[in-house]
Structure 1
């Protein structure tokens, strides 16, 4: 486990840095769990009830005092959010969160919030793939051959002499060349996907149509925990599907590789097999733990995020399967 984390320390540091930069914008939810009134992004003039929003972050003292005098069912008028207003709070809000939230609002106003999130997610994933298709292919190949990389590393475990380290490096590079993998190319995918992931998080939290909207009769502003406590079957199903689809999308490249090797009758060497299986098991345990940790986090996030992650994971599963087929056919030729 520690070897795996040490090998991935640079990538983890970069991910942490990007996330830290993106999350510099203020949290959209107040202490009461409601969306802050000045964080709502709307494409038209709207009215919200005082009881449905948080007013603790209002910077204008007079306006805040005025809101505090309102009764729970009194309404607050919010004007359309402009690009300049969003950009004034930070580049991340202006360039990523605002466009995504406005797109969700526009589509949802003509359909419903669920379809708005689905179409926005599809469009975003298509754009990201158009920009990083080759890098995603390389990243998936890396995931698929990870057990082979772990076997090479296990073969030289404990050998710290320069000759052994050079042989391990050469065998790893030969494996990369065999599958046409460019390890650093996957970083481009991370740099694009992480800000967009955080952008969708904030957009689904702040978009007005999601705040008041629903999908298949479920209010997306509620949380999975609330759905569990009140036995809301639809919300519980969405949450479970989200967790399962995330787990499948995380492990699918390895499963596809094993299935393909079995189909192609690829023979496995049995020597030192028990020792070589330690690293794959540790890596899989790490992946399972990450899914479990995020599953607990999602319990208190809006159901809109579970809905978004479910759609995103399903798209990723289809994408991974298609890329696997394309790569296998290319290798066969």
Structure 2
């Protein structure tokens, strides 16, 4: 049992973090109408909103207070303070509220879409600064593929405990030689997961997004809902998927280009039919699965979330070029 928990401690740590974060989340959107609850909207100052653009939690005082208003009538929303958000939950106070107010602040000079763009770029920059070592390690892992394949081919077909132990030792020695922590990329997941949840909530709760748009596109509608209104909904959704894949594939392509530039010939240590079962095959499988999961969620989420993922993916593509040029040694 001790051995099991030792080997699974990183997975358990990630699972625990996810559970803690999810317990701090609330549901700010009416699942039937797709509109944000009026008492969930985060504002930077006192604002007004038309009744038809918001929803009310069943049995709430807001539902009773405004039941006689016409859809075009306006409702005044008081300024949201940090104390208000923190009293709702620690997650809203520490993550959702700052992101929402950042979007609102920038949108005050433009619109909700620009607010999301600026907020996403700043957030991705912060994540990049905290996870630069992990991203460098991730690209180095790809550079080690030939040596890793050699070790895998050496022990191919051997299932005894001694062979498994020796293979693990040689792999660990390879990581130590190049100063790589194979679990270092988990740091990026730790940082990004709460941000993704926070951004998801912020795109539904920020006043500038709930009542605003981007080049005439309603950011509160999902790609499915907006399909009949404008082709831009599918364009943004499609570009999000494309750049999400590119953000995964660019490091592989850059490494292949570096190997070609340095005249590094990759030896076929492993059989082609087994190569896909190696680490690169696993990485590709995770890439496609994660992108598919994001697509499934995003097709029914507010377009603002797809917009966030699109901008974030474009930024990560740029970060890959920066890491490759300035942090990877030939």
TM-score bracket for the superposition, by shorter chain length: 0.7 to 0.9
Q: C-alpha displacement at 1:281, in angstroms?
A: 3.6
Helix, strand or coil at the partner of 2:242 = helix
Would you say the 8 A contact 2:139–2:255 is kept in 1? Answer: no
CA distance in 1, matches of 2:186, 2:269: 34
Would you say the 8 A contact 2:99–2:202 is kept in 1? Answer: yes
* 1:144-177 deviation line (CA, Å, top 9, x unaligned): 5467546634543443434322321232123323
Q: C-alpha displacement at 1:296, in angstroms?
A: 2.3
Aligned match of 1:47: 48
Q: C-alpha displacement at 1:117, in angstroms?
A: 1.2
* 1:210-236 deviation line (CA, Å, top 9, x unaligned): 111122222211221123233x13222
Would you say the 8 A contact 1:15–1:194 is kept in 2? Answer: no
Q: Cα gap change, 1:125/1:109 in structure 2, threshold over 3 Å: closer, same or farther? A: same
CA distance in 2, matches of 1:143, 1:28: 41
Q: Cα gap change, 1:17/1:143 in structure 2, threshold over 3 Å: closer, same or farther? A: farther
Alignment of 1:182-193 (within 5 A): 182-193=181-192
Does 187-196 or 283-292 show the bigger shift? 283-292
CA distance in 1, matches of 2:126, 2:239: 25
Aligned match of 2:73: 74
CA distance in 2, matches of 1:318, 1:182: 24
TM-score by length of 2: 0.88
Would you say the 8 A contact 2:244–2:291 is kept in 1? Answer: yes
Q: Cα gap change, 1:199/1:266 in structure 2, threshold over 3 Å: closer, same or farther? A: same
Aligned match of 2:294: 294
CA distance in 2, matches of 1:109, 1:235: 24
> Please, which runs of 5 or more residues in structure 2 have no aligned partner?
1-6
Aligned match of 1:261: 259
Would you say the 8 A contact 2:152–2:270 is kept in 1? Answer: no
Q: Cα gap change, 1:68/1:19 in structure 2, threshold over 3 Å: closer, same or farther? A: farther
Aligned match of 1:123: 122
Alignment of 1:1-333 (within 5 A): 11=10, 13-24=12-23, 25-31=25-31, 32-56=33-57, 59-60=60-61, 63-142=62-141, 145=144, 149=148, 152-153=151-152, 155-230=154-229, 232-279=230-277, 280-328=280-328, 331-332=329-330
Helix, strand or coil at the partner of 1:270 = coil
> Please, which runs of 5 or more residues in structure 1 have no aligned partner?
1-7
CA distance in 1, matches of 2:140, 2:78: 48
CA distance in 1, matches of 2:204, 2:81: 17
Helix, strand or coil at the partner of 1:229 = coil
Q: Cα gap change, 1:242/1:11 in structure 2, threshold over 3 Å: closer, same or farther? A: farther
TM-score by length of 1: 0.87
CA distance in 2, matches of 1:326, 1:299: 37
Q: Cα gap change, 1:307/1:37 in structure 2, threshold over 3 Å: closer, same or farther? A: same
Q: How much is the aligned-residue C-alpha RMSD, in angstroms?
A: 2.4
Q: C-alpha displacement at 1:287, in angstroms?
A: 2.0
Would you say the 8 A contact 1:151–1:276 is kept in 2? Answer: no
Does 177-186 or 247-256 show the bigger shift? 177-186
Does 162-171 or 196-205 show the bigger shift? 162-171
Aligned match of 1:5: none
CA distance in 2, matches of 1:69, 1:34: 19
